[in-house]
Amino acid sequence: MSKTVIQFTILTILLVMAQVLVLNHICLFNVAVPMVFIYIIIRLPITLGANWAMTVGFILGLVVDIFSDTYGMNALACTILAVLRRPVLHLYVSREEELPRPEPSIYSLGTTACLKYLLTMTLVYCTLIFLIESFTFFNPLRLVLLIVCSTLLSVLLMAGIDSLLTPRSEKRL
Amino acid sequence: MAKTGLPYNRLYMRELLKFFIKYSSWLVFTVYMVVSCVLLFTSNPYQHHLYLTSANAVSASVYSAVSNVTSYFSLRDINEDLQRRNADLELEVYKLKNVIRDYHEKEYADSMVVDSALSRYHFIIAHVINNSINRSHNYITIGKGSLDGIEPEMGVVDQNGVVGIVNVTGPHTARLISLLNPHLRLSCKVKGQDHVGSLAWDGRDPGEAILEELPRHAVFHKGDTIVTSGFSSVFPEGVLVGTVVDAEKEHDDNFFALRVKLFTDFSTLSTVRVIRDKMKDELREVEQDIEVKSTF
């Protein structure tokens, strides 16, 4: 148990640092912003209570907000994302008791289900964050483009992180 | 009396607790939502608290550590900018020398009044430790704060032109509202004329902004230089802002809106100068006096 907690903490610090110091400054072709720190919320064990998930989401969002001067934008989006985690997972996985591990990953869910879950969650988050951000200038075409491109880029990166985190011995199974 | 034998108030407490435990998720969710929304919709950017911005101690130290490394990356561009600016200044010095020589020749030197306009301002040099250009509201963090004499609402420029305005200061760091932020509206004019408009970013291109509310009878051409008007104590008159790219009429046809290409390259921002106006307090006092008198 405590090993998992420590692993999660290290992963959180690494991902938040990567997001804040490197990825926030990237805007590929002026339309795709990679959002990687939400992988923490996506990977939270399915057995974790809703209150704890929301708390983790809120604090995570707030930390990223503080670093990137976005005042509650990420906190809001991450809290909603943490609430939607379980319903979205249930769309693609019918029995969560049969999972080999409580954390949703390619290993525990299988490639197709995991990618669907990842894609849905990222799409929800990107839609939320760009909708909140575009209160000032509403430009529907650019908004859709931003959401779609950022989602694709983020999913690609997070799938990569997922495969890095899976131990080699488990991959062969 | 209830079946359990407990007094009514204890029973109510128990029911209340049960209710809270049953719906605790909704409660937690509501609390987080309210907190985030309050943060999100605090409209005045000058009211933001220091701890919730990138100028707080922890994030500022992380950013300055990283900036120590990354500040070397764009040195070539910055060097070129400095060279160009240096050349411009040398040219100006040469011109001014000529003017002074002319004055000497006319023997006005003794009776000449020294121009005190420039000594009114003082510059504080600071390094940019964090900067964003791809959001809809961009902010910049610099590595100097209130201990170095920086206060909110001071103007900031770099070697090319206007950068932004200080809004939150910590002891060793400060955060600026970038010119690439719709909260910032800058009073500007076409160089050599007196018609004033208001410059704001439209959120599209980090290299361009819009000069709005310029009266229709103002005369301008493509390529004209836009400078600050000096109507506030934030920026002195004549600080470079950009050049006119294109003109379009605003909806009511009484005003022009000009598309302005900014001189400042926000993607390679490194060293900036914070402008300290020595007459700011005096000006503020005078303006407050007027307000007080006008209420009578």
The answer to whether residue A53 sits within a structural domain is yes
Of residues A171 and B262, which shows the higher confidence score? B262
Encode chain A (173 residues) as per-residue pLDDT tens digits: 688 888 889 989 999 988 888 888 888 887 888 889 999 998 888 888 888 899 999 999 999 988 888 888 899 999 999 999 888 888 887 776 667 777 888 878 888 888 898 999 999 999 988 888 877 666 788 888 889 999 999 999 998 988 888 766 555 44
Cβ atoms of B176 and B139 closer than 8 Å: yes
Tell me the H-state helices in B41-170.
Answer: 57-70, 75-105
Dist CA B257 CA B210 (whole Å): 6
Local confidence band at B112 (pLDDT 50, 70, 90 cut-offs): very low
C-alpha distances (whole Å) from A96 to each of A163, B91, B147 are: 21, 75, 57
Which residue in A50, A75, A83 is closest to B39 by CB distance? A75
Which residues make Cβ contacts (< 8 Å) with residue B287, sequence separation at least 6?
Answer: none
Which residues on A lie below 8 Å from B203 (Cβ)? 136-137
- Total Cβ atoms within 10 A of residue B290: 9
Q: What ipTM was predicted for this assembly?
A: 0.77
Cβ atoms of A84 and A121 closer than 8 Å: yes
Cβ atoms of B163 and B142 closer than 8 Å: no
Domain total in chain A: 1
The answer to whether residue A140 sits within a structural domain is yes
Q: Report CA B194 to chain centroid distance, whole Å.
A: 23
How much helix, strand and coil, in percent to the nearest 5, is found in chain B?
Answer: 35, 25, 35
User: What does the DSSP assignment read for B239-282?
Assistant: -EEEEEEEEEE-TTSSEEEEEEEESS-GGG--EEEEEEETTHHH
Res. B293: pLDDT tops 70: no
pLDDT attached to residue B2: 46
| Subunit contact B52:A71, Cβ cutoff 8 A | yes
The answer to whether residue A117 sits within a structural domain is yes
pLDDT mean across residues, chain A:
84
The domain that contains A58 carries what CATH number? 1.10.1760
Give pLDDT tens digits for A23-50: 888 888 878 888 899 999 988 888 888 8
The answer to whether residue A77 sits within a structural domain is yes
pLDDT mean across residues, chain B:
81
| Subunit contact B36:A76, Cβ cutoff 8 A | yes
Which DSSP category does B112 fall into?
P
Which residues make Cβ contacts (< 8 Å) with residue B56, sequence separation at least 6?
Answer: A66, B50, B170, B173
Largest separation between any pair of C-alpha atoms in chain A: 50
| Subunit contact B139:A69, Cβ cutoff 8 A | yes
Give pLDDT tens digits for B191-203: 888 888 899 998 8
The answer to whether residue A172 sits within a structural domain is no
> If residue A65 lies in a helix (H) or strand (E), which one and from where to where?
helix A50-68
Tokens found for residue B217:
């009878």
Which residues on A lie below 8 Å from B30 (Cβ)? none
| Subunit contact B28:A51, Cβ cutoff 8 A | yes
The answer to whether residue A173 sits within a structural domain is no
Tokens found for residue B190:
């076409």
- Closest-CA residue of A relative to B65 is A21
Of residues B248 and B264, which shows the higher confidence score? B264
Domain span at residue A157? 2-167
pLDDT attached to residue A172: 47
Res. B113: pLDDT tops 80: no
Q: Which of A129-138, B116-125, B229-238 has the lowest mean pLDDT?
A: B116-125
Which residues on B lie below 8 Å from A70 (Cβ)? 135, 137
Cβ atoms of A40 and A57 closer than 8 Å: no
